[in-house]
């Protein structure tokens, strides 16, 4: 029998992130995964969001991720064309990774973050996360093992697994269990959490191909992603290695319900804009259905679910995997704080209270964008490829419309920095409403529940690099005596780091002299003086405040 603080079912990006963060916090972990060690994942997620990269920076793996994927000089642009080899309509500029920190000319160049987003396919991302997780003290990964059942009691959870090679039974005993085991999650089914929502929004015939000649046939500057729209087929082509491997998405029309009834080869050729003499090799078929499904709950006792086990939606804005990573990091902190002894069991209630509403919001953003894209694909002008002034005018209008519709998903500031927790039992709200946000826009704010706006400290270093692992108190007025708050935190064994910040270095949203931030960068409390009810505040931070307490 294997024993650990936390057992994780599933070693995809979400499960691996959870394991890495728990180990970083000093907890022991056992991960059960059905695939062989080193077996590549499906060629699907192509994007790591800025918020995810910020946390990977804390965990010491961001630089390795940034150095992987497309060649360093390969533009991360999104281009809109009549076909991959056809006429360019418009382009969203996203710098290559070699200049990602210095080139601020693109529509996301204004973002205040130490880690811009990174375009990298999951086939390159996951091995880096796996190696990093495997190297952490306290992490055990059992490949070729299938979790088949679980039972929980008052003090822990038992997982029954089967060795897929020998057939032998394996048992794992842990204080808590987290299912990161995908859309068909055994763990979700075991706790009786049902999916609800829209089961079919978009069908996509997805094909991973090797086509060495294609790159040389594309006119103009290279791009990470090409959206092709013509009267015959609309689809997307992603550069995977920047050389010869590509992922081609053929977006089926609403009345096309059978993947195999659609001519895959003809569709690929229409999207690429190539004739019958063009040779390519199919490496794999990755067909998928875009949905909007959210589990009715994310927890049952000592068992939790994260990522696709908890929610599925159309992967616009790259927020399928990234939402799962956010789930994992949120839950890891709650579990580790409780296991460390300074947070009560009630702190675990915050995971569902915080993440479930965000999941509902983000999934609706993604679904609404998917519906707009479906409408746009059905309205491709029949004369879009026509030469001459009239064709030019049609293409110019189509290019503007494509840019405006899609810049919000590829430079989604709102989904990165705008979401907030407005019903957390761990946050001391002060009556001011959090600013609304959209997929592409947000207002930076220190209202409790919002992400503490990033800025550079006086020495040029990142604010987040100076954060402690749990709570950090930003003091913008050095004359304020915060010793009583520090003493109250110490009395409850709540980890608290004091960070003095020059007010001139802080941006406008920092209107309060004291801002208390969590490990995930969300504001837990703010004020212009240490509160009179110090122990009440500290009790809230560690989940010990009674319901309704302020």
Q: Is residue 106 part of a domain?
A: no
Residues 430 and 531 in one domain: yes
Residues 52 and 137 in one domain: yes
Dihedral angle of Cα 405, 407, 408, 410, to the nearest 10 degrees: 130
> pLDDT band at 360, cuts 50/70/90?
confident
Residues 27 and 156 in one domain: yes
CA 393/CA 411 separation, integer angstroms:
26
Q: What are 445-458's pLDDT values in tens digits?
A: 999 999 999 999 99
pLDDT of residue 546: 55
Distances (CA, A) of 137 to 19, 141, 460, 499: 11, 12, 32, 29
Looking at 343, 364, 385, which one is the last position of a domain?
Answer: 364
Q: Is residue 471 part of a domain?
A: yes
- Whether 550 shows a pLDDT value over 60: the answer reads no
| Tokens coding 347 | 């702190």
> pLDDT band at 366, cuts 50/70/90?
confident
CATH code assigned at 138: 3.50.50.60
Q: Is residue 350 part of a domain?
A: yes
pTM attached to this predicted model: 0.96
- Whether 548 shows a pLDDT value over 50: the answer reads no
Q: What percent of the chain has pLDDT over 70?
A: 98
Query: 3-state class of 159 per DSSP?
Result: strand
| Tokens coding 22 | 């728990």
- Whether 393 shows a pLDDT value over 50: the answer reads yes
- Whether 314 shows a pLDDT value over 90: the answer reads no
Looking at 325, 348, 364, which one is the last position of a domain?
Answer: 364
Number of domains in the chain: 2
> pLDDT band at 24, cuts 50/70/90?
very high
What mean pLDDT comes out for the span 171-178?
Answer: 98
CA 56/CA 129 separation, integer angstroms:
10
Cα dihedral across residues 372, 118, 336, 450: positive or negative = negative
Dihedral angle of Cα 414, 417, 423, 425, to the nearest 10 degrees: 170
Do residues 453 and 512 lie in contact, with contact meaning Cβ atoms separated by under 8 Å? Answer: no
What is the DSSP code (8-state) at residue 435?
P
Q: Is residue 297 part of a domain?
A: yes
pLDDT of residue 317: 58
Residues 317 and 465 in one domain: no
Looking at 364, 384, 399, which one is the last position of a domain?
Answer: 364
Residues 32 and 144 in one domain: yes
Q: What is the DSSP string of 20-61?
A: HHHHHTT--EEEE-SSPTT----S---EE-HHHHHHHHHTT-
Helix %, strand %, coil % for the chain, to 5? 30, 25, 45
Q: What are 82-106's pLDDT values in tens digits?
A: 999 999 999 999 999 999 999 999 9
CATH code assigned at 441: 3.40.30.120
- Whether 363 shows a pLDDT value over 90: the answer reads no
Residues 167 and 60 in one domain: yes
CA 211/CA 199 separation, integer angstroms:
34
pLDDT of residue 547: 47
Residues 27 and 135 in one domain: yes
> pLDDT band at 124, cuts 50/70/90?
very high
Residues 434 and 359 in one domain: no
- Domain extent at residue 165: 2-69+117-195+292-364
Look over the chain and give the mean of its residue pLDDT values, rounded to a whole number: 95
> pLDDT band at 159, cuts 50/70/90?
very high
Q: Is residue 29 part of a domain?
A: yes
Q: What are 218-277's pLDDT values in tens digits?
A: 999 999 999 999 999 999 999 999 999 999 999 999 999 999 999 999 999 999 999 999
Phi, psi torsion values for 477, nearest 5 degrees: -125, 105
> pLDDT band at 13, cuts 50/70/90?
very high
Q: Is residue 390 part of a domain?
A: no
Q: Is residue 164 part of a domain?
A: yes
Residues 23 and 123 in one domain: yes
Output the 3-class SS for 166-186. CCCEEEEEEEEEEECCCCCCH
> pLDDT band at 544, cuts 50/70/90?
confident
Q: What are 247-262's pLDDT values in tens digits?
A: 999 999 999 999 999 9
Closest CA to 248 of 259, 257, 235: 235
Residues 342 and 441 in one domain: no
CA 31/CA 39 separation, integer angstroms:
16
Closest CA to 451 of 463, 439, 466, 469: 463
Q: Is residue 531 part of a domain?
A: yes
Residues 326 and 446 in one domain: no
CA 545/CA 538 separation, integer angstroms:
8
Residues 467 and 360 in one domain: no
């Amino acid at each position: 029998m294997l024993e650990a603080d936390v057992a994780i079912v599933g070693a995809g990006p979400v499960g691996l992130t959870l394991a890495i963060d728990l180990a970083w916090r000093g907890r022991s972990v056992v991960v059960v995964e059905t695939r062989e060690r080193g077996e590549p994942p499906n060629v699907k997620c192509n994007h790591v969001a800025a918020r995810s990269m910020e946390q990977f920076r804390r965990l010491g793996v961001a630089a390795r991720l940034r150095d992987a994927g497309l060649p360093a000089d390969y533009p991360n642009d999104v281009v809109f064309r009549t076909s991959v080899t056809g006429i360019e309509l418009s382009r969203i500029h996203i710098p290559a990774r070699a200049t990602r920190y210095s080139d601020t000319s693109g529509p996301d160049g204004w973002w205040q973050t130490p880690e811009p987003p990174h375009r990298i396919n999951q086939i390159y991302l996951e091995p880096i996360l796996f190696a990093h997780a495997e190297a952490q003290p306290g992490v055990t990964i059992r490949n070729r093992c299938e979790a088949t059942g679980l039972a929980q009691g008052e003090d822990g959870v038992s997982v029954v697994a089967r060795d897929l090679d020998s057939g032998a039974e394996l048992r794992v005993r842990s204080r808590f269990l987290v299912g990161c085991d995908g859309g068909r999650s055994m763990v979700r089914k075991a706790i009786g959490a049902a999916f609800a929502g829209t089961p079919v929004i978009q069908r996509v015939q997805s094909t991973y191909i090797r086509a060495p000649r294609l790159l040389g046939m594309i006119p103009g500057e290279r791009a990470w992603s090409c959206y092709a729209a013509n009267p015959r087929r609309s689809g997307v082509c992603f550069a995977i290695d920047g050389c010869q491997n590509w992922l081609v998405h053929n977006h089926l029309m609403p009345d096309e319900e059978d993947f195999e009834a659609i001519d895959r080869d003809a569709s690929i050729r229409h999207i690429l804009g190539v004739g019958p003499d063009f040779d390519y090799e199919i490496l794999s078929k990755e067909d998928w259905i875009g949905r909007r499904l959210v589990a009715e709950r994310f927890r049952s006792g000592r068992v939790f679910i994260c990522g696709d086990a908890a929610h599925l939606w159309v992967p616009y804005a790259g927020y399928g995997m990234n939402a799962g990573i956010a789930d994992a990091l949120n839950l890891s902190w709650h579990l580790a704080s409780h296991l460390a002894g300074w947070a009560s069991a009630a702190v675990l209630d915050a995971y569902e209270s915080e993440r479930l509403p965000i999941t509902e919001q983000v999934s609706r953003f993604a679904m609404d964008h998917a519906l707009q894209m479906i409408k746009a694909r059905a309205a491709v002008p029949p004369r879009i490829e026509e030469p001459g002034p009239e064709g030019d005018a049609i293409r110019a209008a189509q290019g503007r419309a494509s840019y405006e519709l899609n810049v919000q998903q590829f430079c989604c500031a709102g989904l990165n920095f705008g979401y907030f927790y407005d019903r957390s039992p761990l946050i001391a709200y002060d009556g001011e409403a959090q600013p609304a946000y959209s997929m592409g826009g947000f207002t930076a704010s220190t209202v409790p529940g919002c992400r503490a706006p990033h800025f550079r400290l006086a020495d040029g270093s990142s604010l987040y690099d100076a954060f402690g692992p749990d709570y950090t108190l930003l003091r913008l007025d050095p004359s304020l005596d915060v010793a009583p708050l520090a003493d109250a935190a110490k009395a409850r064994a709540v980890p608290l780091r004091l960070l003095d910040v020059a007010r001139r270095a802080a941006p406008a949203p920092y209107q309060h002299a004291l801002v208390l931030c969590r490990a995930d960068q969300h504001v837990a409390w703010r004020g212009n003086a240490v509160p009179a009810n110090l122990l009440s505040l500290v009790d809230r931070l560690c989940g010990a405040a009674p319901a309704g307490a302020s």
